[in-house]
Amino acid sequence: MYGFTTRLNTDFEDARERTVEALKAEGFGVLTEIDVAGKLHEKVGAELRPYTILGACNPPLAYQAVQADPDIGMLLPCNVIVREEDDGSQTVGFMDPQAVMNLTDNPDIAKVAGEVRERLERVREALAG
């Protein structure tokens, strides 16, 4: 599997804000925010429920990864999605950094990926709890 998720029984904006705050608590900033629903509506007329991709980055860990492999930027940042479900609940999904970073065979990258996954799992637990 390439990611892991949690469900929140709240509205979309609250779920997005809580996700950003939980990421901050684990040392992540949001570098990018893509309104997928809005862009697909604009480009192809698609009607989707709210759906956003957050490009999350933990600068010290990203620095370690870039030092270990300068090409690792092709796999950064960590994507986190917030999307509304049919029942009005929100799914927050996290890219599994170990699955993605295992595309390399660099043990230093594997170590960083493990740390990032632990932090993202704590974000998921904070949101679920």
Q: Domains in the chain, ordered, with CATH?
A: 3-128 (3.30.310.70)
Q: How far is CA 49 from the centre of its chain?
A: 19
Confidence (pTM):
0.95
**How does pLDDT run across 108-117, given as a tens digit for each residue?**
999 999 999 9
Write out pLDDT tens, residues 91-112: 999 999 999 888 898 999 999 9
CB 75 within 8 A of CB 100: yes
